[in-house]
Homo-oligomer: A and B are copies of this chain.
Amino acid sequence: MQPVLRQLPAGALLFHRNAPAYGIFRLVTGRVRLERVTPDGTTVPVHTVRPGELFAEASLFSSCYHCDARVVHDAELHFYPRTALVARFRGDPNALFDFAAGLARRVQGLRTRLEVRQVRAAAERLLLFLRLQVDAGRFYRPEGTWKDVAEEIGLTHEALYRALAKLEATGRIERLRGAVRVLRTRPG
């Protein structure tokens, strides 16, 4: 299904809570924040959407949005109109099956992220993240920057670099030109 490309400047409200759900989006560039504004005017963050991410999927299955979506940095978005998408899913079970498969993978990925965040010590958290990316003995090279990795695992940029240095100093990783190799540990 061909999405519609939309461009929105920073500050724009893409949709708001309880408004009729008219479609779902994939962020192409920029940044969008999902938030809820409580009756007393407090803004409560729900999620920060990053490029490549599909969002508002739950609104496909409900008549209205459950939060506000505000553009934080000028954004380009792919828009998938709800009626067209639902009609397609109703008419083509394979497309719906693929969509559900994508959602199941997202659930899996988010759970793993939560598990990584569970680890308090920065170096151990980073090591768990690396182990989930690659088997021991293999190299991991971030898709984006190490700063993105820091954000992904909930560390500051500085804490991530300290964690990398610590893992290297204690012989658990090896660094080579921007990549990192998880070293085998001796069982027992």
Contact = CB atoms under 8 A, between A and B. Distances in A.
Interface string A53-64: 000011011100
A46 interface: yes
Contact of A100 (B100, B111, B186): B100
Interface in A23-72: 34, 36, 38-42, 44-48, 57-58, 60-62, 66
Given A96-B96, A96-B100, A97-B96, A58 B113 contact: no
Interface residues of A, number: 51
A186 B40 CA distance: 7
Q: Is the interface of A mostly helix, strand, loop or mixed?
A: helix
A107 B57 contact: yes
A71 to B, nearest CB: 18
A7 to B, nearest CB: 24
Interface of A: 34, 36, 38-42, 44-48, 57-58, 60-62, 66, 89-90, 93, 96-97, 99-101, 103-108, 110-115, 117-118, 128, 131-132, 135-137, 154, 184-187
Given A46-B111, A96-B96, A110-B114, 13 more contacts: A36-B132, A41-B185, A41-B187, A42-B185, A45-B128, A47-B114, A58-B107, A60-B104, A96-B97, A96-B100, A103-B103, A106-B107, A117-B117
